[in-house]
Amino acid sequence: MTLFPLASRLQTRPFLLSTALITGVMLLTGCQSGISTHTNTSAEINSVSTPLSAAISAPTTVSTQSKLTPAVQTVIGDYATDGYSKRQQGYDWVGVMVRPFGDAEIDIKVRARGDIKNPSCSYDGKATLMGQDQAHGVIFQTVANNSVTFLQFKDGKLTIDSQDKMALHYFCSGGDTLAGDYQKLASQLVLS
């Protein structure tokens, strides 16, 4: 009696034995990199309907905007505190740049005025979509300074808040904080 009954029947066929053992190990370990699958690339798809020279020179990238959830598409943009509109008069301001980072995540960069003084706030992070409804708008969540932090986007306004109000002071100097309201800008944030 053998420990592996399949092995005793396949001893005369070493190729089948080795294939069965490798496949079994791959399935048990979750490794599927050895399994070859073929998917059509956009260049191959283009070559069916266009001449070969056009398929080679045509860009094969797919717009990341089309893969994003509607909630992420809604919040992408730049936001700033009220002082941003008065920056020419020397007012201090804090801006938030929101970019896509996957289909249900965003990349957040917070920057403050740095042209006439040292920037008062700086933060880089990622946030995950938590939900969306009419009453609350779109809610994202992240962890900042070991505190759960919420980013609420509603009616062209971003509100940043945290369970620990003091945690968001860590990223700013002079008593400032990331917590607060930011208005969506019609154009990109100008950092200088």
10-residue stretch averages of pLDDT, the chain, 192 residues long: 47 48 42 39 38 35 62 96 90 94 94 72 96 95 96 97 94 91 94 75
Which residue, among 5, 149, 137, has the nearest Cα to 71 in the 3D structure? 137
Helices (H), 30-129: 42-49, 52-57, 70-75
Q: What are phi and psi of 59, to 5 degrees?
A: -65, 140
The pLDDT value recorded for residue 65 is 52
Rounded distance between C-alpha atoms, residue 78 and residue 165, angstroms = 23
Strands 94-100 and 157-162: unpaired
Which residue, among 124, 123, 99, 112, has the nearest Cα to 174 in the 3D structure? 112
3-state SS class at 184? strand
The pLDDT value recorded for residue 49 is 37
The pLDDT value recorded for residue 187 is 93
Helices (H), 10-97: 14-29, 42-49, 52-57, 70-75
Per the document, the length of the chain is 192
CATH architecture of 70-184: Beta Barrel (2.40)
List, by residue range, all CATH 2.40.128 domains of the chain: 70-184
